[in-house]
Amino acid sequence: MKNKYFSLVISTLVLFPLKGKSLPFEFSYQGRLTDSTGNAVADSTYSIMFSLNSDAVAGDLIWSESAMISTINGLFQHSLGSIVPIHPNLFSDYDELFLEISLSGTPILPRTRLNSTAYSHLSGNLEVYDNDSILAIVTDGDSHRLIFLDSMGVDTAILLTGIFSGDSSIVLPDDAINEDEILNEPGIAENSNISIITLNTSVMTDLVTLNIELPTSGFVVLHGKCYLRLNGTTGANMARIQIDDTSGGPANFPYFTQAGLSGYVNTGYNYFPIYVTRTFYVTGGEYSFRLEGMALSTSPAVAESWDNILTAIFYPTGYGTVKLASPESLNRKEIIESDVSQQQR
């Protein structure tokens, strides 16, 4: 066998890390076994030793393993590290490594210097430095973390952890976007009721309700829309629509919208589009809001509401002043009440 030698067909070393583990790992090696004339050896099984050394000629023996290799037309393939594990620190401890292959105890020279492919395993524990040679980014392959350091290369500025979810997956500085601002962003909810609902003159009647659960303190801006259908009389017929957080009760000035006339040409249907809005400050948790209405005119006047829609938009942050309860003046309320009284006569 001493007249036989290796002629490499593929000299690139390809990494194949074991799934679910950071060590040991393997990489594939392919070659072709020929005789002294360059012809492929007979298809058979041969004893081959693979070793990694610290120098191209001499140096230290770092790692080795022996395997029985089968050839087909002289071609063979072997996964280095499949018999004797290769520790990944080997690539960080040595800037250069040289692969030596021995056939039946006889080394095949020259040794092959490992290229960067084998060293790509080190990306699991990568260190990146800035222009001032200060450590800026560190990866931790064992814990699946990417760590961004501060300008001194010491304290964690940003931490990304791939094996976690939720709050633990990303850690940001205190003055960056915090987790509350990420989770508690604006949201919207809506409900509708297209039924025709008859209003009474005693208390507000629910037209459509909306139940929402809010993550934190903030503002809920509500928009309500419906149609008033007034009929049954040629006299006065009016009604009020508003948004509230409690069921029943009276009209709340200035949040209601009032529509209707002091007289009609006939007793048929008259339609009035209604839009109302109101803002509430909340402290988080579950809340119920409602679009509600009340008739202002007694029988034979009939006041009905239909196509009722209530929309809520949550804002965790306010900009400037938010006036939650600000009647223009008590006199304005008295003027409205007086006007209604005169129209109902």
Q: What is the pLDDT of residues 74-102, one digit of tens each?
A: 888 888 888 998 876 777 777 788 999 98
- How far apart (Å, rounded) are the C-alpha atoms in residues 12 and 115? 7
What CATH number does the domain containing 106 carry? 2.60.40
Longest dimension (CA), the chain: 124
Residues 196 and 302 in one domain: yes
Q: Average pLDDT for residues 200-226, to the nearest whole number?
A: 93
Of 259 and 14, the one with more pLDDT: 259
Residues 139 and 27 in one domain: no
**What's the pLDDT at 179?**
47
**What's the pLDDT at 31?**
84
- How far apart (Å, rounded) are the C-alpha atoms in residues 269 and 302? 9
pLDDT exceeds 60 at position 226: yes
pLDDT exceeds 70 at position 126: no
pLDDT exceeds 50 at position 3: no
Which of 76-80, 181-185, 316-320 is modeled with the greatest confidence?
Answer: 76-80
Its pTM stands at 0.47
The count of structural domains within the chain is: 3
The pLDDT confidence band at residue 28, using thresholds 50, 70 and 90, is confident
Task: Give me the residues paired with residue 69 across strands.
Answer: 46
What CATH number does the domain containing 239 carry? 2.60.120.1340
Question: What does the mean pLDDT of the chain come to?
Answer: 78
List, edge to edge, every strand of the sheet that includes 285-295. Answer: 205-214, 285-295, 237-244, 257-261
DSSP secondary-structure letter at 40? Answer: B
Residues 212 and 273 in one domain: yes
Could you say which of 88, 120, 152 is where a domain stops? 120
Residues 150 and 225 in one domain: no
Residues 209 and 231 in one domain: yes
pLDDT exceeds 50 at position 8: no
pLDDT in tens, 277-299: 999 998 888 999 999 999 999 99
Residues 269 and 209 in one domain: yes
Could you say which of 105, 120, 135 is where a domain stops? 120
Could you say which of 143, 165, 183 is where a domain stops? 183
Residue 254 in 3-state DSSP? coil
Residues 237 and 293 in one domain: yes
**What's the pLDDT at 311?**
97
Question: What range does the domain containing 42 cover?
Answer: 5-120
Residues 233 and 138 in one domain: no
The DSSP secondary structure of 73-101, one letter per residue, reads: TTEEEEEETSSSPBPTHHHHH-S--EEEE
Residues 290 and 206 in one domain: yes
Residues 197 and 318 in one domain: yes
Q: Average pLDDT for residues 232-260, to the nearest whole number?
A: 94
Residues 165 and 278 in one domain: no
- How far apart (Å, rounded) are the C-alpha atoms in residues 127 and 145? 12
pLDDT exceeds 90 at position 263: yes
Q: What is the CA radius of gyration of the chain?
A: 41
Residues 91 and 110 in one domain: yes
The pLDDT confidence band at residue 246, using thresholds 50, 70 and 90, is very high
DSSP secondary-structure letter at 283? Answer: -
The pLDDT confidence band at residue 116, using thresholds 50, 70 and 90, is low
